[in-house]
Amino acid sequence: MAAIEPIGILELGVDDAQAGLVLSTEAGWNQNEADWRFFLSRGVVFGVRDGIRLVATAALLPYSAGNAWISMVLVTADFRRRGIATKLVDACLDVAKRRGLTTWLDATPAGTSVYGPLGFIPTLQLRRLRLTKPQEANATRQLSAGHLEVLVVRDASAMGFDRSTLLSEFAARSGSRVASDAQAMALIRDGRTARHIGPLLADRTDQALALIDAIISSETGPWLIDAVHAHDEFLNGLVRSGWNIERPFQRMRFGPATVSPAQLPFAVAGPEFG
């Protein structure tokens, strides 16, 4: 395919989950097949094929109150620098415009330079951290089983809109759990390469850090968390505890502001989900 050749964009279906997983695995991302099936069944996922091979994707995941998330913008290595990603994002924006949705995404530094000219404006920043040091589970440290209904309510307050469908699907997966400790609670789920913690809600930094300590003491890692940069004491506490910052993300919005979060989460569900 030459750069000047037309790009044929297709809407993908659930049967494309494994092909999508090949793309995200090539990029080194943490999504598993269950994540792809959620996007393909609950969202709108566009793709580009070279023959039968899936070479690029972008997804639009509608939420409530006129909001949606764009993610899974992936192009295999030998098809990059041809404008494919931009065309796929444009396809997502076209759907969002027809549905009257404000769109959000969490961009890497390279992505920020692409999305800015499209009209996305920056909002908050995230930091992805990884903890890989093997740890022995501490059976004496007991975590309470959190209530999904409470997590959904607190998440809606933090995001400014309801994501009960997403959180319920996460919680129903094998290996997932909602954990709570004092006034902090978080959802823990499997990823392809690491367990992911988030969203994490708490009233205070010390509560959030105590919950993280209890989680990583209750089972072995490795772990990933996407922390909100504005909570600098929380971020610094993670680093002091051995977490390593892998990369930044810039949250960006296209369209009018539709939400007024009451309180920022300490960590989010992931850059692909918000």
CATH (domain of 178): 3.40.630.30
Q: Are residues 75 and 143 in the same domain?
A: no
Residues 144, 71 share a domain: no
Within a domain: 270: no
Number of domains in the chain: 2
pLDDT at residue 114, rounded to an integer? 85
In a domain, 249, yes or no: yes
- Residue 31 in contact with residue 71, Cβ under 8 Å? no
Residue 261 included in any domain: no
Q: Is 98 exposed, middle or buried (0-12, 13-18, 19+ CB in 10 A)?
A: exposed
Residue 188: how many other CB atoms lie within 10 Å: 22
**Domain identity same for 157 and 196:** yes
Task: Give burial (CB, 10 Å; 0-12/13-18/19+) of 6.
Answer: exposed
The answer to whether residue 34 is domain-embedded is yes
Q: Does residue 272 fall inside a structural domain?
A: no
Per-residue pLDDT, 143: 63
In this prediction, residue 269 carries a pLDDT of 98
Task: Tell me which of 82, 100, 118 is where a domain ends.
Answer: 100
**pLDDT tens per residue, the chain (274 residues)?**
334 456 799 999 999 999 999 999 999 999 999 999 999 999 999 999 999 999 999 999 999 999 999 999 999 999 998 889 999 999 999 999 999 999 999 999 988 888 999 999 999 999 999 999 755 655 455 666 779 999 999 999 999 999 999 999 999 999 999 999 889 999 999 999 999 999 999 999 999 999 999 999 988 889 999 999 999 999 999 999 999 999 999 999 999 887 777 789 999 999 999 9
Is 111 among the domain residues? no
Looking at the fold, whether 31 and 135 belong to one and the same domain comes out as: no
Q: How much is the pLDDT for 259? A: 74
pLDDT at 144: 63
What pLDDT was estimated at residue 1?
36
Taken as a whole, the chain contains a residue count of: 274
The range of the structural domain enclosing residue 75 comes to: 10-100
Q: Is there a single domain that holds both residue 59 and residue 156?
A: no
Residue 165 maps to a domain = yes
Integer distance in angstroms from the first to the last C-alpha of the chain? 34
| 134 shares a domain with 221 | yes
pLDDT of residue 145: 73
State the pLDDT at residue 3.
45
203 is a domain residue = yes
pLDDT of residue 173: 97
Question: Are 151 and 94 part of one and the same domain?
Answer: no
Same structural domain, 67 and 134: no
Q: What are the CA-CA distances from residue 197 to residues 46, 76, 165, 186 (Å)?
A: 28, 28, 18, 7
Is 235 found in the same domain as 162?
Answer: yes
